[in-house]
Amino acid sequence: MSSDYPSPPEARREPEPYPGEQHTRLSGAWTAVVIGTVALILILVFILQNLQNVQLSFLAFQGHLPLGVALLFAVILGAIIVLAFGGARIIQLRGVASRARRQDGP
């Protein structure tokens, strides 16, 4: 019997990984440390290249800081704000999931 459709390919089994090829928590931590170290080096280079002083005014606070340090503080403040909103959303979703489990429970 001939048909215009090709036969489906046979399912291939993935070969078993060799010892040491599997992704582990330690390998993930090692990757995070390497990426974090590279990021810190880049941040340090950025700060060292932007050492000219700038005047800052925020609400009642005024002062002089190196530009790189001022921008670093701005990034840190932005990250804190993002983490606060993200944490609030996670807490909200956990509450919704908890109420749904209680309704579906025994």
**Which tens digits make up the pLDDT trace of 2-53?**
556 666 666 677 777 666 667 777 788 888 999 999 999 998 898 889 889 9
Please state, rounded to an integer, the average pLDDT across all residues of the chain: 84
Residue 47 in contact with residue 69, Cβ under 8 Å?
A: yes
- Rounded to whole angstroms, how far apart are CA atoms 59 and 23? 49
Distance between CA 63 and CA 53 in Å, rounded? 10
Rg of the chain, C-alpha, whole Å: 26
Mean pLDDT of 63-78: 90
Task: Give the closest residue to 54 by CA, choosing from 63, 46, 45.
Answer: 63
Q: Are 74 and 82 in contact (CB under 8 A)?
A: no
CA–CA dist 55, 28 (Å, integer): 42
**Whole-number Å distance between alpha carbons of 88 and 85:** 5
pTM: 0.58
pLDDT exceeds 90 at position 56? no
Tokens of 1: 């019997």
